[in-house]
Structure 1
Amino acid sequence: MDSIIKKSLEKSISYNTYRSLVKQLADEDSTTGLEKTEALINYTKLNDRRMKRWDKTVKISEEAKNKIESFNEASTWLLITESWCGDAAHVMPVINKVAELNENINLRIVLRDENPELMDAFLTNGGRAIPKVIMIDNESGKVTNTYGPRPSEATNYVSRFKAKYGKLTPEFKEDLQHWYNKDKGQNVIEDLTEIMCQLQPTVCL
């Protein structure tokens, strides 16, 4: 496991480099990943616009900011994604805003299809769901927690719908986009500060 993570970290890029990559791909009618279908290319274009918006508009409350800034365990957050992923476009800019507030957190990005061993070590209910954050303690090199693919409220929303109807419909996926737009990244911020409190209880005192 350690060698898989190490290998992926060596290939990882910063959030700003990832954003530049997505913009370039959108301009070139392309996408990350092994498949280059028209649908995935269109999602990449849409996601570039979404991330651009969230990069500008995500707000973090003073209370959450204080918790984030008081977390003092040097960590690497290794985030697995692809440019066409709708959930990632909403979640990643928020994770980046949180990481920017604390110099102890080093956010690094890798692509799922280029890192199959890493992805398969961190499946969600048996699936290669993204975005997925692997939180690594820099001192010990151990994985302390994981996060994703969706914020907790969205995960519950999806689970309830799947339990009732068996699968996600196009209409539901549209509803989920509305949920993200209404939530404005706040559930991701709550989830991440909760994880920080679990890892370092003094954060929440």
Structure 2
Amino acid sequence: MAYNTKEKAIKKLIIKGVSNALSYSDYRLLMDQLVLRSGTTGLEQTQMYMDYTKLNQQRMKRLDKTIKLPEDVKVKMVKISNKMTWLVLSESWCGDAAQTLPVINKLAEINPNISLKIIQRDEHLELMQYFLTKGSRSIPKLLAIDATTNRILWTWGPRPSEAAQLADDYKKEHGELTPQFKEELQVWYNRDKGKNTVSDLMHLLSLE
């Protein structure tokens, strides 16, 4: 009974989230507008987060132009026949989101059965609470949802599997993720070029 109650609560929050969500193009437009007015999304309206938003807008603009998917990935993605919504909890200041959302969008664009939607985490904390990572509201968090039943098929995030392992190893050794690690992680993302994110999602889609 408890599980059924929880499932119903999640479905209700998902329906609310999808109704409030932005398309990827609208999210990118929001990023552009935030930069123009020196703004940021989220509850913490600080200069640091505004600076992160500006940096992430530049990253996403670059990645939208440079991310290329392998032909075999495109062929496999086209075969997906069930309709899904990929609902991503994010914020404009999140460096991991800036590096992975353009990749997720490239995959979703291949198949019209996949609808990518983005919502702000801090505006949907109740939903976020059901999808914590080791007790943390880490983002981005991708919820793959059956478009007919609104049931969760699988989740992904907040980082590609290899980056997540790097973070776990660093935290065990140093106790926390330092600014230095975060800089090194961005170097990793630039070197990886979205490959690990693609591999993770293909695995979750049973397409590998």
Same fold per superposition (TM over 0.5): yes
Q: In the alignment, what sits opposite 1:79?
A: 88
Q: Paired residue for 1:162, among 160, 167, 171?
A: 171
38-47 vs 116-125, greater mean Cα deviation: 116-125
Q: In the alignment, what sits opposite 2:68?
A: 59
Q: Where has structure 1 moved over 6 Å in runs of 4 or more?
A: none
Q: In the alignment, what sits opposite 1:200?
A: none
Tell whether the 8 Å contact from 2:78 to 2:111 is kept in structure 1 after alignment.
yes
Q: In the alignment, what sits opposite 2:136?
A: 127
Q: How many pairs are equivalent?
A: 199
- SS for the counterpart of 2:123 is coil
Counterpart residue type for residue 121 of structure 1 = Y
Counterpart residue type for residue 154 of structure 1 = A
Counterpart residue type for residue 163 of structure 1 = K
Q: Paired residue for 2:26, among 9, 13, 17?
A: 17
Q: In the alignment, what sits opposite 2:118?
A: 109
* Sequence identity percentage: 49
- SS for the counterpart of 2:77 is helix
Q: State the Cα distance separating 1:73 from its structure 2 match.
A: 1.3
Distance 2:85 2:171 in 1: 33
Q: In the alignment, what sits opposite 1:175?
A: 184
1:23-81 alpha-carbon deviations (Å, 9 max, x no partner): 11011111011111000000000000000000000010011111111121110000000
Segments of structure 2 that go 5 or more residues without pairing to the other structure are 1-9
Segments of structure 1 that go 5 or more residues without pairing to the other structure are 198-202
- SS for the counterpart of 2:122 is coil
Q: Does residue 186 in structure 1 map to residue 195 in structure 2?
A: yes
Q: Does residue 46 in structure 1 map to residue 48 in structure 2?
A: no
Q: State the Cα distance separating 1:167 from its structure 2 match.
A: 0.8
- SS for the counterpart of 1:113 is helix
- SS for the counterpart of 1:35 is coil
TM-score, normalised with respect to structure 1: 0.95
Q: Does residue 8 in structure 1 map to residue 17 in structure 2?
A: yes
TM-score, normalised with respect to structure 2: 0.94
Q: In the alignment, what sits opposite 1:28?
A: 37
